[in-house]
Amino acid sequence: MSDLMPVVLPPGAGYLGKSRRRISASGLVTWERCPRQWHYRRRIGLNDATNPEMIIGLVVEDALCGLFMQRFPENATPMPGLVEWINFSRQENGLGKISPDGEVIISDLESISQWMELVTPSLVEEVQRLLQARWDATQWKAAGRDIAEVQDARIENLISGGIQLQLEEVENCLQASGGPHLNSYRAAGDPFTVPAPCWDEEPVKPGEDSNRTKADGFETSGDVTIWEAWEISRPWVKDPRIAAPQRLFHPDGWAAGEMDLVHRWDGTVRICDIKASAGTSGYSAGLANQLRFYQWLWSITRSHPGRPKTGESGGELAALEGWYLSGPHRKIIELLDDKTLESESTRWKNVHQQMTLSGLHPTHLAPADPAPWVNHAPGGKALPVEDENKAKSLTCERCTAAAFCDTSPKKVQAKALAALTPPELGSPENLVASLIPKAPCTMISDIPRRLNVKGEVKGQWGPLSNHYGEEVRGATIVVGSTNVTIEEMGAESFGEIPSGTELALLDVAPGVWRRMTRLYLDEHSSIKPASELEDTEFTRLGLIPTKANLSGQIVSRGGHSGVNARGKPWSMSTCHLWDGESVVEVVAFGSAITRTFQQLEVGDFVRILAAELGWRDGVPQIRIDQRNTRLEVKQ
């Protein structure tokens, strides 16, 4: 058994390597909360308004991971009072470096604690700077909330909690005489296949051999020193210097997980997840499923041929831990035994299959089955549920789609609809009535989903770059003088094309890209010899629908940007349109992100005329064409 993540299969590069078809730990947790909630949140990307808590956890986690990458100087050289992550973070944003504030000689555990106290204020300051920057860049903010309400004391409490939990690891390492890997560290430095990232070492990209060498602070013999105990107990964390995904990928590509930190110093492996809270909310119910999903991914990726060949094993996976920073609290999650893990693996595969089917037809959505909302005592200890129906209603209240889900409790849906209803319309009933489309607009549910075509497929079924920068395979289908490009809906989402002169392409999705008709194939499509089909209705290539005229209310805003596989930057801005019955994602790419589109706000009433019909992971996605699409906002 080799030791540590990440096992990286080439994922789709454009959408930050994240596919809505791939099941993740967070996606699984959402599904367990309610499959219908997963459909709206994950399948069609419906966002919530951003509140400070959504940002705090991400930034504090980055700060702690950066802190855990720190190496102290050897030979009693004073340690400057600054975490290197701070200047890395500032330079990433085009800012100059700052100078250390004081110094501490690292000689024992107490001196490490003193250094931590010295650097905490500058860590808090950098976290606050990043929080403000991310808040300013957020398109849709929660009403009545502001990042200014996040006080320094709150951030300091979270950072101090993470420091305390890590110092417990250092102390335990000292008491264990450095653990079973001490001699390996002393001989050649970090011995693991994937080493713990360190600011003093070059980053090790996924799949690379580390080529680590012994650092000067390691002794040749004798008792373990405090310098060694810190260095040995530093965990693996996500290295912010590496742009590639640092995840565990299922060998078949349908599942992936991104862990926060992994401890290996004691001869076993412990997967830990950082939570920037005390663990008292209902969201804490998902921790066990999240960590056990990582346990499963860990178990099936240990022998993957793409892993580095050198290095020591970290040992058997022995523990799963949730690190609640406010407290702090260390919650231990029991590992699943092999039989239960195999059963869960089968269940998760079935869940993934249900996910891929959700939304293929307007009426075929994942079931609405909310789990009870369970409050917790500090440390993620579940409290009893006294009224299960009321607890399920609480889950619905917190759902992104409470206004649109046809099974929302009446009171919950009425409250959510009231929040969307302008005063001049008076009631949610009037709102829904006002959203009925007028010609030339149609209902979202009338968007053509799947059709059948036939013709001769020409050209090599080979690679091309789609609008997300993903490498997909494509070819051309030809009938007479009419030809249409066919391509995979996403990377590796369809198999090989069979040979034959006239082929029938079944259940393909119509669309357009750069004003040229496209047909998209995924795992729900099939190709057969046309001669084998008698009673199938086919659409002529020249009559493939590629445009959409829609109207409705904006109910969500979002956006993404990144760098594709070819190193080119890309950006997209999104909104979600509701017509009183259905919700669809509307997206503008790059230069199509006009000022009018950027200024759209949740609650606006719009008409979108001559938009392009596109697809994202099996469900419709309406795209703005810079030249031809007309976007009208009702004043």
For the segment 307-319, the average pLDDT, to the nearest whole number, is 78
DSSP tally for the chain: helices H, then strands E: 14, 24
Least confident of 239-248, 374-383, 419-428, 541-550: 239-248
pLDDT for the residue 309: 63
Task: Tell me: pLDDT of 553 over 90.
Answer: yes
pLDDT for the residue 245: 78
The rounded distance, in Å, linking the Cα atoms of 195 and 207 is 12
pLDDT for the residue 18: 45
pTM for the full model?
A: 0.90
Architecture category of domain 449-543 in CATH: Beta Barrel (2.40)
Which two structure tokens, joined as six digits, stand for 26?
């967070």
Question: Given pLDDT bands bounded at 50, 70 and 90, which one contains residue 524?
Answer: confident
The string of pLDDT tens digits covering residues 259-307 is 999 999 999 999 999 999 999 999 999 999 999 999 999 988 877 666 6
What residues contact residue 307 under an 8 Å CB cut-off, 6+ apart? 2, 7, 193, 207, 301
**What are the φ/ψ torsions at residue 477 (nearest 5 degrees)?**
-105, 135
Question: Given pLDDT bands bounded at 50, 70 and 90, which one contains residue 159?
Answer: very high
Supply the CATH classification number for the domain 547-633: 2.40.50.140
Task: Tell me: pLDDT of 9 over 50.
Answer: no
**What are the φ/ψ torsions at residue 304 (nearest 5 degrees)?**
-65, 135
Q: Where are the domains of the chain?
A: 1-14+24-38+247-420, 48-238, 449-543, 547-633
547-633 shares the fold of 449-543? yes
Nearest to 324 by CA among 274, 290, 284: 274
Asked if 306 contacts 206 with a C-beta cutoff of 8 angstroms, the reply is no
The average confidence (pLDDT) of the chain is: 90
The amino acid that residue 501 corresponds to is: T
Which two structure tokens, joined as six digits, stand for 296?
């499963």
Asked if 215 contacts 228 with a C-beta cutoff of 8 angstroms, the reply is no
Three-state DSSP class for residue 455: strand
Q: For 277, left (φ over 0), alpha (ψ -120 to 50), or beta?
A: beta
Asked if 324 contacts 161 with a C-beta cutoff of 8 angstroms, the reply is yes
